[in-house]
Structure 1
Amino acid sequence: MQPYQQNQYAGAGVTRTAAEVDQGLRAFMLGVYNNMILGLAISALVALGVNKLAVAGSEADAAMRLGGVYLTEFGRVLYTTPLMWVVALAPLAFIFLFSFRMDKMSAASARGTFFAFAAVMGASLSTILIRYTGASVVQVFFITAAAFGSLSLWGYTTNRSLSGIGSFLIMGVVGLILASLVNIFLGSTMLQMGISVIGVLIFAGLTAYDTQKLKEMYLYGNFDGEAAAKVSVFGALQLYLDFINMFQFLLALVGNRNN
């Protein structure tokens, strides 16, 4: 996904010294990571809250059993009726909103929309707490965090241009989506494993690529304060999606499922 263009928010006549650029870049990237971390925290809290409401404390309190988990009536409605598709697809509505309305949003409205998106995504992600053990989810989350941090740091510090792999990685994302849709009908375990492995690699590459792209956007975009704040939100969205997708593919690959 490419939710912005390099010169879209460029300020007019903004002249900066080298020291101001360096200081501004650090503040800009810190804003990106702060927004992203807040988004992840919101998603985690919402996912835990929804899971708490959806999972029954005992068999006697359960409306039904799904796999190895007993669900409350709320959980039954959320995970076994058409409402589950509404919850699953709701984050896409926010992605389209960002794509079509980003140029008209203020920094504050963009940040609020991003946090609302993170909350909706948290509700969608609550299903992983049904499918996988809590210990497995926590373990994979920290593995993903360590990998993401290392890859993002490398993308920020490397002198090697990663622009050449960007189009290739985005084409890979399209291929992943198509393969996943096909596998809904095939139900192939081997194909799903291949999708997960390739998905981890693609979003690992996108993490480094997007980090470098954000750095270069700031250095060459000549943003004013409001524009920089707005782009930092869209940058946070980009890295948030890289993290979440890498986490989900890695969890599908090595996570322990509930019996």
Structure 2
Amino acid sequence: MAEFDTIRSAAGARAAQIDEGLRAHMNKVYGTMSVGMLITALAAWAIAGLAVTTDPSQAAAQIGADRYLTSLGYAIYASPLKWVIMFGPLAFIFFGWGALMRKGSAAAVQLGFFAFATVIGLSLSSIFLIYTPFSIVQTFLVTAIAFAGLSMFGYVTKRNLSGMGTFLMMGVIGLIVAMIVNIFLQSPVMMYAISAIGLLIFAALTAFHTQEIKNTYVAYASHGDQEWMDKAAFDGALSLYISFLNMFQFLLMFMGDSE
């Protein structure tokens, strides 16, 4: 009996240790993601401020009444460079991030994530040319509330969401193809349909990735490889960051007030 009590006590202590480690791991995931979002927001705001002017003497192109693109703005939004800015981050996710996770150190993965967030800020800066600042902030807050609820659901639910993964990733690929096609079609109806479907897909991915991050930690916590766990935290932060960012952009299509 004494031996059984000892085993049970050891198991309880181990479970408590895993729970404590999981909380620290999730805090690191959310903290890294939050820093990434802050970097993106600051980069987008700063670039938009440099890209648009009301001074005709500094204008490279006119975009509205008393609003002009500077030379920097023209290069980002109107020159062929815009395609690099648009598809560069996507190429990094599909071809660069996996290699960085396999071969890079935890510090290199973290740096790669923050660099990615900066480039996304460059791409996202165009929203300040299209939507009012109030509607951008309002949509961000709504996205944050929805994201928190969805992520909490993914964390606490007992339902296994792993079966959704393949289906959702196929949906993301289909969504990317549809968005590329609509670049040439320029169909408002198709864009709203893409936004609605994309919002549902990335809402589901938020819950899915949260559960996946939790389960990955629990499965590998006993290995004691802190370097790998740090990289896993940054990988999880990137997954949630992408879900949040896409939810925000798709919601902005419905909630944003045009300049």
- TM-score (ref. length: structure 2): 0.89
Answer yes or no: is 1:32 the counterpart of 2:29: yes
Per the TM alignment, residue 67 of structure 1 is displaced from its structure 2 partner at its CA by 4.4
CA distance in 1, matches of 2:78, 2:145: 34
Answer yes or no: is 1:241 the counterpart of 2:239: no
Higher helix share: 2
| Counterpart AA for 2:186 | G
CA distance in 1, matches of 2:91, 2:201: 24
Name the structure 2 match of 1:227. 228
Local SS of the residue matching 1:257: coil
Per the TM alignment, residue 62 of structure 1 is displaced from its structure 2 partner at its CA by 3.0
Per the TM alignment, residue 92 of structure 1 is displaced from its structure 2 partner at its CA by 2.6
Local SS of the residue matching 1:17: helix
Runs of 4+ in 1 over 4 A off after TM superposition: none
Aligned equivalent of 1:47, options 44, 48, 61: 44
Higher mean displacement: 60-69 or 43-52: 60-69
Bigger relative contact order (CA 8 A; separation at least 6): 1
The correspondence of residues 100-179 of structure 1 with structure 2, limited to 5 A, is 100-179=99-178
Per the TM alignment, residue 190 of structure 1 is displaced from its structure 2 partner at its CA by 1.4
Structure 2: 5+ residue stretches without partners: 1-12
Name the structure 2 match of 1:253. 254
Name the structure 2 match of 1:182. 181
CA distance in 2, matches of 1:86, 1:171: 24
Per the TM alignment, residue 86 of structure 1 is displaced from its structure 2 partner at its CA by 2.0
Report sequence identity in percent.
49
CA distance in 2, matches of 1:247, 1:50: 19
Name the structure 1 match of 2:81. 83
CA distance in 2, matches of 1:119, 1:54: 16
| Counterpart AA for 1:49 | A
Answer yes or no: is 1:98 the counterpart of 2:97: yes
CA distance in 1, matches of 2:102, 2:178: 32
Structure 1: 5+ residue stretches without partners: 1-15
CA distance in 2, matches of 1:67, 1:149: 37
Per the TM alignment, residue 174 of structure 1 is displaced from its structure 2 partner at its CA by 1.4
Count of matched residue pairs: 243
